[in-house]
Amino acid sequence: MNIQVAGVGLTKFGELWDKNLFDLALDAASEALQDAGLDGRAIDAIYVGNMLSGTLTGQEHIGAVVASLIGSNAPAMKLEGACASGGLAMHAGVSSLLSGQYETVLVVGVEKMTDAPPNKVMAGLMGAGAEEERLAGLTFPGLYALMAKAHMAKYGTTKEHMAHVAVKNHYHASLNEKAQFPFEISIEKVMKSSRITDPFTLFDASPITDGAAAVILTVESRIKNQELRKKNVFISASTVATDTISLSQRESLTELKGTKIAGEKAFAKAGVSPKDIDVVEVHDCFTIAEILAMEDLGFCAKGEAGEMVKNGHTRLGGMLPMNTSGGLKACGHPVGATGVKQIVEITQQLQGRGGRKQVEGAKVGLTQNVGGTGATVVIHILQI
């Protein structure tokens, strides 16, 4: 059965102090419905990706909230898997269509983070990691720094290599009106900004963000929008893998096993290989994470990603444009929205609606969404 993207919606990402959790979800959902030429009554089920609404807003049960917002009595549920919540909501939505129970579903990813005190946000985010890591005082910058240090020691990856990830993603964000940081930065800016945890400076890290993204998935050709019908985007693979939640129990600090498992399954399912991919969104919560993703997805050999980024191969116009949205780093990272935003970006790229950041002739795209330090990884492959 073919699963198609029937419509997409995306709010501005950033510090959106005039929008609450519900506004963001409704804005993205409404835009996706409009894009698909559907109204809320056409939706058979709703899957919401969100991590922190209970902790930061006091609002759990947001599947039903979103159903109410679009005036629907359809089945609705929230999917949570830390920063991979959006990807998991996509996966559940795809499953539900393949099951034959539903024909058109709405997937919404949303997070409202900037109204809460930073210490509450930090404590909430640490819920993505292992209890022993929290009790030891580790934070996500610290955990990813451990992986970066191991990668530097084993493969000779440098701070400059990582800085190139940030510079590229800021360049892409400068072409994206929805991005939180739509401006360019230099290698020097990254290297000389405040140290947050060795080897990372401030510009190696993704920000705290408000935002929402929505995708309408459907079976067969139920798409109302005639223009989009000519550019049907199909989900050809939706895979998930898990790994130990604690870094200390991993076999390796220089790769994400979850990415490798989910990636291999996704390529097999879609019948494509890494060299067939034209455009990619990966989970660059820290610059090292993009380097790990490139290698673990098989876009290059282990240890080669740093040079590949430095040489511009993943920049717009290069052989494999990566994070054309600006990524988590510069487009922003509203946790539960990220995995859905990746689908929005790839869909628009494949439909030629990428605007100034359009990858010419893109036909096959991939998204990689990560929870915690890799305990959950969700991969989607989209094709036109």
Residues with a known catalytic role: 83, 333
**Residue 37, interface with a second copy (CB under 8 A)?**
no
CB of 57 to a second copy, least distance (A): 8
How far apart (Å, rounded) are the C-alpha atoms in residues 234 and 366?
Answer: 12
Q: Which residues 6+ apart lie within 8 Å of 275 measured at CB? A: none
> Across the strands, what pairs with 380?
238, 367
- Judge if the upstream peptide bond of residue 334 is cis by omega within 30 degrees of 0: no
Per rule CB under 8 A, is residue 191 in the interface with a second copy? Answer: no
Stretch that binds a second copy, among 66-74, 322-330, 344-352, 358-366 (CB under 8 A): 66-74
For residue 212, state whether it binds a second copy (rule: CB under 8 A).
no
Query: Does 247 contact a second copy by CB under 8 A?
Result: no
Q: Using the rule CB under 8 A, give the single segment among 137-145, 155-163, 243-251, 288-296 that binds a second copy.
A: 243-251
Q: Which of residues 74 and 289 has its CB atom nearest to a second copy in the complex?
A: 74
**Region binding a second copy by CB under 8 A among candidate stretches 92-100, 138-146, 210-218, 296-304:** 92-100
At position 256, the amino acid (one-letter code) is L
Q: Is 253 in the site for a second copy (CB under 8 A)?
A: no
Contacts of 226 (CB under 8 A, 6+ apart): none
Q: Which of 15, 39, 60, 198 binds a second copy (CB under 8 A)?
A: 60
Considering the rule CB under 8 A, would residue 285 count as an interface residue with a second copy? no
3-state secondary structure of 384: coil
**DSSP secondary structure, 223-290, as one string:** ---HHHHTT-EEEEEEEEEE--SSGGG-S-SSS-HHHHHHHHHHHHHHT--GGG--EEE---SBHHHH
Nearer residue to a second copy within complex by CB, 66 or 382: 66
Distance CA 249, CA 133 (A): 11
Which residues of this chain interact with a second copy, rule CB under 8 A? 22, 45-46, 51-55, 58-61, 63-65, 67-68, 72-82, 88, 91-92, 94-101, 123-124, 126-129, 131, 134, 239-246, 249, 257-258, 261, 371-372, 375-376
